[in-house]
Homo-oligomer: A and B are copies of this chain.
Amino acid sequence: MKTIVAATKNKHKIVEIEAITSQFGMNIVPRDEAGVPDIEIPETGKTFEENSYIKAHEIMKLSGQITIADDSGLVVDCIEGAPGVYSARFATFPGIWPDEKDEDEADSDDRDNNSKLIRLIKDVPYEQRTAHFVSVITMVFPDGETLVARGEVHGHLVLEERGKGGFGYDPLFVPLGYDRTFGELPAELKNSISHRANALVSLKEKLEKLNID
């Protein structure tokens, strides 16, 4: 496998993608190290697939190299699937489940996003606080060939942050079969069962089937 440019600027995502793909023998290079200018790619899509696609293609056009993008988020059942594709900007995005603190800005920080989520679901009983993380990984080749792989991990939400591992909504999410949050579980464990791990394994299988290495 040649060098693969990561379209994300999110350091946490890059660390996880590298931890998982290094086991596949892939060599991931952050976009800034691949000479891609520091521009924002607007995430205008309504689905993870669409945003993942947009990011991968825009960065491939700028880098000229095989590029991988991750679009991911948390889908919470009792609030109609929010925050979904708006996960990174939940606390500042007034479009869904508006909150008195919302301002229409860029990505909000993890603490504000988690606080907003807790406020919205605090009266919902545990059994109904089901949620799943989604990751859609898109790999684009310079000739336009594009592989898309989706991964999910299902679980429940707790009402106070637990653990310092992971990022985003991880301290609130308890995966099925475990009693600790993604914030509490060791990184190696999260990276073997997470939505992102499932998506990357599925991508790897597609690459192997196509004999791309």
| A141 CB to nearest B CB, Å | 8
Find out whether the CB atom of B148 lies under 8 angstroms from the CB atom of A147: no
- In the complex, which residues of chain B have a beta carbon less than 8 angstroms from the beta carbon of A211? 209
**How many chain A residues touch the partner (CB < 8 A)?**
16
Of chain B, the residue at the smallest CB distance from A136 is: B143
A143 (CB) vs chain B CBs: closest residue: B49
Copies of this chain present: 2
Which residues of A from 190 to 213 have beta carbons under 8 Å from B?
Answer: 206, 209-211
Question: Complex formed: what's the CA distance from A141 to B53 in Å?
Answer: 12
* A21 contacts partner chain B, Cβ-Cβ < 8 Å: no
Determine the chain B residues whose CB is within 8 A of the CB of A138 once the complex forms: 144
A91 to B141, CA, bound (A): 33
- Docked Cα-Cα span, A50 to B141, in Å, equals 12
Task: Decide yes or no: A145 and B148 within 8 Å by CB, A206-B210, A209-B209, A210-B209 being known contacts.
Answer: yes
Q: Type the 1/0 row for A135-163, where 1 means its CB is closer than 8 Å to any CB of B.
A: 00010010111111000000000000000
The answer on a CB contact under 8 Å between B50 and A144 is yes
Rounded to whole Å, the gap between the CB of A147 and the closest CB of chain B is: 6
Contact of A144 (CB < 8 Å), options: B141, B148, B209: B148
Q: Please indicate the chain B residues that have their CB under 8 angstroms from the CB of A148 in the complex.
A: 141, 143-145
Q: Give the distance to chain B from A146, nearest Cβ to Cβ, in Å.
A: 4
> With a CB–CB cut-off of 8 A, which chain B residues contact A143?
49, 53, 148
Could you tell me the distance between the alpha carbons of A141 and B143 in the complex, rounded to whole angstroms?
A: 16
Which residues of the partner chain B approach A206 to less than 8 Å between Cβ atoms?
Answer: 210
Interface string of A42-67 (1 = CB under 8 A from B): 00000001101100000000000000
Cα distance A49–B140 in the bound complex, in angstroms: 13
Q: How far apart are the CA atoms of A49 and B143 in the complex, in Å?
A: 6
Whether the pair A145, B144 counts as a contact (CB closer than 8 A) is no
